[in-house]
Structure formats: C-alpha cells, structure tokens
Amino acid sequence: MSYPEMSIIRDIRVLTEKFIPNRILHRTGQLEAIRDDIKPLLEGSVPRHVFIHGNPGTGKTCMARYVAGELESYSSDIVQSYTNCWENPSRFRILYNIAKDVSSAPIIHRKGTPTDEILEMIKRSLEGKHCVVILDEVDKIEDDRVLYDLITLQNVCMLMIANSSTALYNVDSRIRSRLASSDNIEFRPYSSSEIIDILSDRSEWGLIPGVITGQQIEMIAASVSGDCRAAIDIMRVVSEEAERSEHEKITDDMIERSLPRIEMFKKELSMGALNPHQKLIMEIVTGAGGTIDSGELFRKLSELSASKGMESIVDRTFRNYTNKLVKYSFLNSSGDGRWRTFALPKKQF
C-alpha cells in the first residue's frame, strides 16, 4: 500500500517495529550461523538450538523472525511459532501460543485445559513436520519446564532470545545441560556506520526520495549508541512530524529535538567521564590514525600503561572498557573477536 497523497512518508509500516525487512544488513556471520544450526531440520536430523543475546535494538528479534520466515517459505513441512515470553510467561501460555501457531485446526481453549494436553496437541500437529520456535525475552519465563517440554520434541528447533548472556544460568541444571550444545550468538551494538546503512535502506522503502539527507541520517545514527530500534523510531517520529506540519522535507531542527537525552549527557560528560585506561585507549586510536585492530590496541595499551606506571588490565577488563566506549559512541567497532577493529566516529561531537 502506498500513500500517493503524502509528501514525506511512502509506507509507514516500514518504519514500525514489527516490520521484517526483506534484507538484514551487517549480520551476515550471525545469519549464516543460525541457518547452519537449523539446517539439520530440513534433512530430518537434529538441529542445534540457538541462544541469541545482546543489547536492545541489536536486531535479535528481527533476525529470528527473518530466518524462521525464510525457512517456512522454503518447505510446507516447516512451520514457525513466535512467543514473547514477557507477554506470555507461564508454561501454559507459551505452549498454548505455540499450539495456536502450529495447528491447522482452531484450538479450543477450555478453562482448565491441562497443560500436558496442550503439549500433546503440539506433538500431534507437528507429526511429519518441523518447527522453528522463537522464544523472545526468554529470561521472563516463569517455569523453565517449558524449555524441557520443547527440548523433548525432536522436530523442534528453538531460537531463544534475551538481552543478557547469563539469561539461562538459573534454569534447572538438567535443562541447562541439555542446552549446553546450543549455539550461543552475541549481537553486539551496531556501529554508527552500520546504523547509517540500515536507516538509509529503510528510508528508501519508507520515505519519499529526497525528504531526508544523508547528513541527517548520520545525525540520528551518531546519537543512538548502536540501538537500531531507537534510530528507526527517531526516523519515524520526525517523518510523521514533517508530514503533519506539511513540510516538504525533514528539517535538522526536528531531528535535534527528537534525539535521545543520553546524547546531551554525553556531550557534557565528554572525556571527563572516561577512566585513565579509557582515555589512553582514545589516545592510542587517535595516534594510530583513527583505526586500529583489537589485538594491537590491547598490546599498545599494555605497553603504555606499564610505562606510565598504571595498573595492567586483563583481557576481560579491556573488552569491558572498549565495549563502553563503543556503547557511548566514543568509538565505532566492526568485526568480532580477534577480527574486531576500533575506529573514531567520523564526526566527533
């Protein structure tokens, strides 16, 4: 559906959270890994469950729904189910939700239907089929037996999503041990340039050409600390404002007014908020011409901090400090693990 009478917005749905884009940018490694984990389902063997974790707005839900949708369209034997465990925390609600998604006949919800009966319904509906079950906000489940229920279904692959990497630490040890072979995939915050790409792609579908400039997209991307939801939200809010106030274009002023508060704090805090090691990290990256790989940065930091008589820091602290610098947009990062590189953002505030 398009809106020919609109002068700013072409399709508002593209700028809403539920929209699943037709391509996922900058998550190729993760996308391939999840595809590989699920693939055995297609071949009738046992898939690997997947645990996806990362900060809000890092594309976890979007990725899970995208992959599940992709698979569902691949074969009529594959079905998918999505449950947000925050909205449906009990074992009954989760299984009931899955039963609704996977059964072809309507589920009759009698009061007092035993949960085990719902589980049997799911089993029957899935005979001869395979199913991808997304459990979003999985740390909000009230009763971890539901994970056990689903593990016992051989033809189900679970995509479990949470913000924290430790979300499943407290589940019953028998369940944890069965989930030990799950693939554990981290979604790091996006760099500003990755957010720019995603916003540009979205604006092409969602907005009339030319109503937002590249520089305005950069302004939004620089302010959201790698949170793609916040970035798209801002773009939607300013588009709606421009549309409502009958502007022909989005103005810088509209964007400035809708930028998150954190950006203002950050401007004030600026370098004053950094600890000595983080300041040293910033100096090293600047000295290296603005880009440096993680290994070299760590080596130089160790050398320099030793020569300045500062405490030496371990790898984990290093990651913690650099993650904070990325989170607050002092640095951009790309790549993972050993291949991670850090760079100064294009525009320093």
Ligand X SMILES: Nc1ncnc2c1ncn2[C@@H]1O[C@H](COP(=O)(O)OP(=O)(O)O)[C@@H](O)[C@H]1O
Provide, rounded to whole angstroms, the least separation between the CB of residue 62 and ligand X: 3
Nearer to ligand X among residue 191 and residue 278 (C-beta): 191
Which of 10, 27, 93, 236 lies at the binding interface for ligand X (CB under 6 A)? Answer: 27
Type of residue at 203: S
Closest CA to 134 of 63, 44, 54: 63
- Where along the sequence are the contacts to Mg ion (CB under 5 A)? 61
CB of 21 to ligand X, least distance (A): 4
Whether residue 86 contacts residue 162, with contact meaning beta carbons closer than 8 Å, is answered with no
> Which CB sits closer to ligand X, 200 or 251?
200
Q: Which of 14, 51, 57, 207 binds ligand X (CB under 6 A)?
A: 57
The dihedral through the CA atoms of 24, 26, 30, 36 has a sign that is: positive
Binding segment for ligand X (CB under 6 A), chosen from 17-25, 35-43, 115-123, 252-260, is 17-25
- Would you give the distance in Å from CA 140 to the centre of its chain? 17
Give the CA radius of gyration of the chain: 23
Residue number, 8 or 159, with CB nearest to Mg ion: 159
Tell me the per-residue interface mask from 58 to 97 with ligand X, x by CB under 6 A, - otherwise. Answer: xxxxx-----------------------------------
Question: What CA–CA distance (Å, rounded) separates 229 from 212?
Answer: 18
Shortest separation between residue 340's beta carbon and Mg ion, angstroms: 24
Task: Pick the closest to residue 93 from 47, 149, 48, 42 (CA basis).
Answer: 149
Distance of CA 269 to the CA centre of its chain: 27
Start-to-end CA distance of the chain, whole Å, equals 39
Q: Is 327 in the site for ligand X (CB under 6 A)?
A: no
Residue nearest Mg ion (C-beta atom): 61
Please tell me whether residue 228 binds ligand X under the rule CB under 6 A: yes
Binding-residue total with ligand X (CB under 6 A): 18
Q: Does residue number 229 form part of the binding site for ligand X (CB under 6 A)?
A: yes
Residue nearest ligand X, Cβ-based:
59
Phi, psi of 131 (to 5 degrees): -140, 135
The site partner of 26 among Mg ion, ligand X, none (C-beta below 5 to 8 Å per kind) is: ligand X
The nearest distance, CB 164 to ligand X, in angstroms, is 12
Strands (E), the chain: 50-54, 78-84, 130-136, 156-162, 183-187, 291-293, 332-334, 341-343
Kindly state whether residue 56 participates in binding ligand X, applying the rule CB under 6 A: yes
Contact 23, 218 (CB under 8 A): no
> Are residues 333 and 326 in contact, defined by beta-carbon separation less than 8 angstroms?
yes
Dihedral pair phi/psi, residue 127, rounded to 5° = -60, 125
**102, 95 Cβ separation under 8 angstroms:** no
57 binds, among ligand X, Mg ion, none (CB under 5 to 8 A by kind): ligand X
| Least gap, CB of 23 to ligand X (angstroms) | 7
Q: Which does 226 bind (CB under 5 to 8 A by kind): ligand X, Mg ion, none?
A: none
When the beta carbons of 21 and 290 are compared against ligand X, the nearer one is 21
The CB-of-54 to ligand X minimum distance in angstroms stands at 6
| Least Cβ distance, residue 341 to ligand X (angstroms) | 19
Positions that interact with ligand X (CB under 6 A): 17, 21, 24-27, 54, 56-62, 198, 228-229, 232
